[in-house]
Protein backbone atom coordinates (compact mmCIF):
# COMPACT_ATOMS: atom_id res chain seq x y z
CA UNK A 1 0.00 0.00 0.00
CA UNK A 2 1.32 3.43 -0.95
CA UNK A 3 0.52 6.63 0.89
CA UNK A 4 0.60 9.31 -1.78
CA UNK A 5 1.75 12.85 -0.94
CA UNK A 6 -0.91 15.02 0.69
CA UNK A 7 1.23 18.12 1.28
CA UNK A 8 2.34 19.13 -2.22
CA UNK A 9 2.18 22.91 -2.07
CA UNK A 10 3.93 22.96 1.27
CA UNK A 11 6.90 21.89 -0.83
CA UNK A 12 7.37 21.52 -4.63
CA UNK A 13 5.94 18.46 -6.35
CA UNK A 14 8.78 18.34 -8.85
CA UNK A 15 11.88 16.44 -7.74
CA UNK A 16 14.45 18.90 -9.08
CA UNK A 17 12.56 21.91 -7.74
CA UNK A 18 12.24 20.22 -4.36
CA UNK A 19 15.97 19.53 -4.15
CA UNK A 20 16.68 23.14 -5.13
CA UNK A 21 14.32 24.41 -2.43
CA UNK A 22 15.92 22.21 0.24
CA UNK A 23 19.34 23.57 -0.74
CA UNK A 24 17.86 27.08 -0.63
CA UNK A 25 16.60 26.43 2.91
CA UNK A 26 20.06 25.36 4.10
CA UNK A 27 21.81 28.35 2.55
CA UNK A 28 19.12 30.94 3.41
CA UNK A 29 20.11 33.84 5.68
CA UNK A 30 17.86 32.37 8.39
CA UNK A 31 19.15 28.85 7.72
CA UNK A 32 22.45 27.25 8.80
CA UNK A 33 24.20 29.03 5.92
CA UNK A 34 25.62 25.95 4.24
CA UNK A 35 24.54 22.63 2.79
CA UNK A 36 24.80 19.77 5.30
CA UNK A 37 27.48 17.11 5.33
CA UNK A 38 26.49 13.82 6.92
CA UNK A 39 29.20 12.58 9.26
CA UNK A 40 29.79 8.82 9.20
CA UNK A 41 29.44 7.20 11.61
CA UNK A 42 28.97 10.35 13.71
CA UNK A 43 28.79 10.63 17.48
CA UNK A 44 25.08 9.75 17.62
CA UNK A 45 24.62 11.64 20.85
CA UNK A 46 21.31 13.34 20.17
CA UNK A 47 17.90 11.98 21.08
CA UNK A 48 16.06 14.03 18.51
CA UNK A 49 15.04 17.42 17.19
CA UNK A 50 11.96 19.61 17.09
CA UNK A 51 11.32 20.94 13.59
CA UNK A 52 8.58 23.17 12.06
CA UNK A 53 6.18 21.96 9.39
CA UNK A 54 4.82 24.96 7.48
CA UNK A 55 5.36 25.71 3.82
CA UNK A 56 9.05 25.53 3.00
CA UNK A 57 9.08 29.17 1.84
CA UNK A 58 8.29 30.14 5.43
CA UNK A 59 9.68 27.50 7.77
CA UNK A 60 12.19 25.66 5.57
CA UNK A 61 15.23 27.70 6.65
CA UNK A 62 14.40 27.13 10.33
CA UNK A 63 13.77 23.40 9.81
CA UNK A 64 17.12 23.19 8.02
CA UNK A 65 18.88 23.83 11.34
CA UNK A 66 17.41 20.63 12.79
CA UNK A 67 18.47 18.51 9.84
CA UNK A 68 21.90 20.10 9.70
CA UNK A 69 22.31 19.09 13.35
CA UNK A 70 21.17 15.55 12.58
CA UNK A 71 23.68 15.35 9.71
CA UNK A 72 26.47 16.42 12.07
CA UNK A 73 25.38 13.84 14.68
CA UNK A 74 25.40 10.94 12.25
CA UNK A 75 22.88 8.86 10.26
CA UNK A 76 20.09 6.86 11.84
CA UNK A 77 18.19 3.94 10.36
CA UNK A 78 15.00 4.42 12.41
CA UNK A 79 13.29 7.80 12.58
CA UNK A 80 10.30 8.14 14.91
CA UNK A 81 8.21 11.11 13.81
CA UNK A 82 5.72 12.79 16.13
CA UNK A 83 3.29 15.36 14.77
CA UNK A 84 -0.11 16.90 15.51
CA UNK A 85 -3.32 15.99 13.73
CA UNK A 86 -4.74 19.13 12.13
CA UNK A 87 -8.04 17.62 11.04
CA UNK A 88 -8.67 13.98 11.82
CA UNK A 89 -9.89 13.33 15.38
CA UNK A 90 -7.30 11.26 17.25
CA UNK A 91 -8.15 10.23 20.84
CA UNK A 92 -4.53 9.50 21.65
CA UNK A 93 -1.67 8.57 19.32
CA UNK A 94 -2.27 7.21 15.81
CA UNK A 95 0.48 5.16 14.17
CA UNK A 96 0.54 4.73 10.40
CA UNK A 97 -0.41 1.29 9.13
CA UNK A 98 2.74 -0.78 8.95
CA UNK A 99 2.27 -2.16 5.44
CA UNK A 100 2.48 1.28 3.83
CA UNK A 101 5.24 3.02 1.92
CA UNK A 102 5.16 6.81 2.00
CA UNK A 103 5.81 8.49 -1.34
CA UNK A 104 7.38 11.91 -1.89
CA UNK A 105 8.86 13.40 -5.08
CA UNK A 106 12.24 12.06 -3.85
CA UNK A 107 11.04 8.44 -3.73
CA UNK A 108 9.40 6.02 -1.32
CA UNK A 109 10.06 5.79 2.41
CA UNK A 110 9.54 2.45 4.18
CA UNK A 111 7.88 2.10 7.55
CA UNK A 112 9.61 0.26 10.37
CA UNK A 113 7.19 -2.65 10.50
CA UNK A 114 9.01 -4.45 13.32
CA UNK A 115 8.88 -1.43 15.62
CA UNK A 116 5.24 -0.67 14.82
CA UNK A 117 4.22 -4.31 15.31
CA UNK A 118 5.98 -4.40 18.68
CA UNK A 119 4.43 -1.08 19.70
CA UNK A 120 0.89 -2.19 18.89
CA UNK A 121 1.45 -5.55 20.63
CA UNK A 122 1.69 -3.62 23.91
CA UNK A 123 -2.11 -3.16 23.72
CA UNK A 124 -2.12 0.42 25.01
CA UNK A 125 -5.64 1.66 24.27
CA UNK A 126 -4.31 5.18 23.71
CA UNK A 127 -2.15 3.99 20.78
CA UNK A 128 -3.95 2.91 17.63
CA UNK A 129 -3.11 2.06 14.04
CA UNK A 130 -4.85 4.26 11.48
CA UNK A 131 -4.32 4.89 7.78
CA UNK A 132 -7.08 7.51 7.69
CA UNK A 133 -5.51 9.61 10.43
CA UNK A 134 -2.39 10.06 8.30
CA UNK A 135 -3.85 10.19 4.82
CA UNK A 136 -4.31 13.97 4.61
CA UNK A 137 -2.00 15.17 7.40
CA UNK A 138 1.01 17.30 6.45
CA UNK A 139 2.89 17.65 9.75
CA UNK A 140 4.98 14.50 9.34
CA UNK A 141 5.12 14.36 5.56
CA UNK A 142 6.93 17.70 5.20
CA UNK A 143 9.84 16.36 7.27
CA UNK A 144 10.50 13.46 4.90
CA UNK A 145 12.16 15.26 1.95
CA UNK A 146 14.77 16.70 4.32
CA UNK A 147 15.49 13.20 5.63
CA UNK A 148 15.62 11.77 2.11
CA UNK A 149 17.97 14.55 1.03
CA UNK A 150 20.34 13.54 3.85
CA UNK A 151 20.03 9.74 3.88
CA UNK A 152 18.47 8.73 0.51
CA UNK A 153 16.47 5.55 1.26
CA UNK A 154 18.72 4.30 4.05
CA UNK A 155 16.20 4.75 6.84
CA UNK A 156 12.69 3.72 7.86
CA UNK A 157 10.07 5.67 9.76
CA UNK A 158 7.53 5.32 12.56
CA UNK A 159 4.94 8.07 11.89
CA UNK A 160 2.76 8.99 14.90
CA UNK A 161 0.24 11.81 15.13
CA UNK A 162 -1.47 13.05 18.27
CA UNK A 163 -4.77 14.58 19.20
CA UNK A 164 -5.38 16.86 22.19
CA UNK A 165 -4.98 14.62 25.22
CA UNK A 166 -4.28 14.88 28.93
CA UNK A 167 -0.85 14.84 30.52
CA UNK A 168 -1.64 11.51 32.19
CA UNK A 169 -2.46 9.96 28.80
CA UNK A 170 0.78 11.37 27.41
CA UNK A 171 2.63 9.65 30.25
CA UNK A 172 0.97 6.31 29.44
CA UNK A 173 1.87 6.61 25.78
CA UNK A 174 5.45 7.59 26.63
CA UNK A 175 5.84 4.62 28.96
CA UNK A 176 4.85 2.26 26.15
CA UNK A 177 7.37 3.83 23.78
CA UNK A 178 10.09 3.52 26.42
CA UNK A 179 9.31 -0.16 26.95
CA UNK A 180 9.39 -0.88 23.22
CA UNK A 181 12.54 1.16 22.56
CA UNK A 182 14.47 -0.93 25.05
CA UNK A 183 14.13 -3.86 22.62
CA UNK A 184 15.79 -1.93 19.78
CA UNK A 185 19.16 -0.32 19.10
CA UNK A 186 18.82 3.11 20.69
CA UNK A 187 21.92 4.43 18.94
CA UNK A 188 20.17 3.91 15.61
CA UNK A 189 16.88 5.56 16.68
CA UNK A 190 16.14 9.26 16.35
CA UNK A 191 13.07 11.42 17.01
CA UNK A 192 11.85 14.19 14.74
CA UNK A 193 9.07 16.08 16.53
CA UNK A 194 7.05 18.22 14.16
CA UNK A 195 5.57 21.45 15.52
CA UNK A 196 5.10 25.08 14.68
CA UNK A 197 4.94 27.53 17.56
CA UNK A 198 2.53 30.46 18.07
CA UNK A 199 -0.03 31.04 15.31
CA UNK A 200 -0.89 34.73 15.64
CA UNK A 201 -3.36 37.03 13.91
CA UNK A 202 -6.96 37.43 12.85
CA UNK A 203 -6.60 34.56 10.40
CA UNK A 204 -6.07 32.23 13.36
CA UNK A 205 -8.53 33.99 15.67
CA UNK A 206 -5.71 34.58 18.12
CA UNK A 207 -4.40 38.04 19.03
CA UNK A 208 -3.84 38.30 22.79
CA UNK A 209 -1.57 41.35 22.39
CA UNK A 210 -3.82 43.04 19.85
CA UNK A 211 -3.43 43.22 16.09
CA UNK A 212 -0.70 45.83 15.88
CA UNK A 213 1.69 47.37 15.46
CA UNK A 214 3.63 44.43 14.07
CA UNK A 215 6.64 45.23 16.26
CA UNK A 216 4.46 44.72 19.35
CA UNK A 217 3.08 41.44 18.00
CA UNK A 218 6.54 40.10 17.17
CA UNK A 219 7.85 41.00 20.62
CA UNK A 220 4.91 39.18 22.20
CA UNK A 221 5.61 36.11 20.07
CA UNK A 222 9.33 36.08 20.75
CA UNK A 223 8.69 36.49 24.49
CA UNK A 224 5.94 33.90 24.83
CA UNK A 225 7.38 31.32 22.49
CA UNK A 226 10.64 31.96 24.32
CA UNK A 227 9.00 30.95 27.60
CA UNK A 228 7.80 27.71 25.99
CA UNK A 229 11.23 27.03 24.50
CA UNK A 230 12.87 27.66 27.88
CA UNK A 231 10.81 24.82 29.37
CA UNK A 232 11.71 22.52 26.49
CA UNK A 233 15.41 23.28 26.88
CA UNK A 234 15.08 22.46 30.58
CA UNK A 235 13.43 19.17 29.52
CA UNK A 236 10.53 19.99 31.84
CA UNK A 237 7.63 18.22 30.16
CA UNK A 238 5.01 19.01 32.80
CA UNK A 239 5.91 22.70 33.01
CA UNK A 240 5.84 23.00 29.21
CA UNK A 241 2.46 21.24 28.97
CA UNK A 242 0.95 23.44 31.68
CA UNK A 243 2.36 26.62 30.13
CA UNK A 244 0.81 25.82 26.75
CA UNK A 245 -2.58 24.65 28.02
CA UNK A 246 -3.10 27.16 30.82
CA UNK A 247 -2.11 30.10 28.61
CA UNK A 248 -4.08 28.80 25.61
CA UNK A 249 -0.98 28.91 23.41
CA UNK A 250 -1.42 27.98 19.76
CA UNK A 251 1.60 25.66 19.58
CA UNK A 252 0.09 22.94 17.43
CA UNK A 253 2.52 20.11 18.20
CA UNK A 254 2.66 20.56 21.96
CA UNK A 255 1.40 17.04 22.71
CA UNK A 256 4.11 15.43 20.58
CA UNK A 257 6.73 17.70 22.14
CA UNK A 258 5.55 16.82 25.65
CA UNK A 259 5.56 13.10 24.86
CA UNK A 260 9.07 13.27 23.42
CA UNK A 261 10.32 15.13 26.49
CA UNK A 262 8.90 12.46 28.82
CA UNK A 263 10.57 9.71 26.76
CA UNK A 264 13.87 11.58 26.52
CA UNK A 265 14.11 12.00 30.29
CA UNK A 266 13.64 8.24 30.71
CA UNK A 267 16.80 7.77 28.65
CA UNK A 268 18.76 10.32 30.69
CA UNK A 269 18.55 13.14 28.19
CA UNK A 270 19.02 16.26 30.26
CA UNK A 271 18.90 19.35 28.08
CA UNK A 272 17.75 20.90 24.87
CA UNK A 273 19.53 23.42 22.67
CA UNK A 274 17.75 26.11 20.70
CA UNK A 275 19.22 26.03 17.21
CA UNK A 276 17.10 28.80 15.70
CA UNK A 277 13.85 30.69 16.28
CA UNK A 278 12.14 33.10 13.90
CA UNK A 279 8.68 33.92 12.61
CA UNK A 280 7.12 33.79 9.17
CA UNK A 281 7.30 37.60 9.19
CA UNK A 282 11.08 37.31 9.47
CA UNK A 283 11.81 34.53 7.02
CA UNK A 284 9.87 35.62 3.92
CA UNK A 285 9.31 39.32 3.32
CA UNK A 286 7.51 38.67 0.02
CA UNK A 287 4.57 36.91 1.69
CA UNK A 288 4.13 38.86 4.89
CA UNK A 289 0.63 38.93 6.37
CA UNK A 290 -0.33 40.59 9.64
CA UNK A 291 -3.30 38.20 9.76
CA UNK A 292 -1.07 35.12 9.69
CA UNK A 293 2.21 35.18 11.61
CA UNK A 294 3.66 31.89 12.83
CA UNK A 295 6.63 31.16 15.09
CA UNK A 296 9.11 28.43 14.15
CA UNK A 297 11.82 26.80 16.23
CA UNK A 298 14.47 24.17 15.66
CA UNK A 299 15.57 22.58 18.92
CA UNK A 300 17.98 19.70 19.56
CA UNK A 301 17.31 17.32 22.45
CA UNK A 302 20.20 15.52 24.07
CA UNK A 303 22.57 15.37 27.03
Q: What DSSP string describes 23-62?
A: HHHHHSTTS-SS-----SS------EEEE--S-HHHHHHH
pLDDT greater than 90 at residue 99: no
* Over residues 267-275, mean pLDDT: 96
- Number of structural domains found in the chain: 1
What pTM value is reported for the model?
0.97
Provide φ and ψ at 194, rounded to 5°: -95, 120
Kindly report, residue by residue over 142-178, the tens digit of the pLDDT: 999 999 999 999 999 999 999 999 999 999 999 999 9
Residue numbers of the domain that contains 114: 2-302
Gap between the Cα atoms of 92 and 115, Å rounded: 18
| Contact present, 296 and 30 (Cβ < 8 Å) | no
Strands (E), the chain: 2-3, 48-51, 78-84, 93-95, 101-104, 107-111, 127-129, 156-162, 189-194, 199-200, 271-279, 293-302
Kindly report, residue by residue over 2-45, the tens digit of the pLDDT: 999 999 999 999 999 999 999 999 999 999 999 999 999 999 99
List the CATH number of the domain containing 112: 3.40.830.10
Gap between the Cα atoms of 168 and 180, Å rounded: 19
Amino acid sequence: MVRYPAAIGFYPGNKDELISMIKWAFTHSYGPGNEPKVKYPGKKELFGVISPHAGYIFSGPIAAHSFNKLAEDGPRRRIILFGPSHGYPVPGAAVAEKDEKWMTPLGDVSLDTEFITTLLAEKNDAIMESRLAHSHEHSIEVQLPFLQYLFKDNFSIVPVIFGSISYSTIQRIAETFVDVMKSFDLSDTFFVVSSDFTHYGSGYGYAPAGTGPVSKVLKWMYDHDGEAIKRIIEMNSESFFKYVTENHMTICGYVGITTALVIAKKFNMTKGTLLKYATSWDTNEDYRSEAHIVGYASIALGR
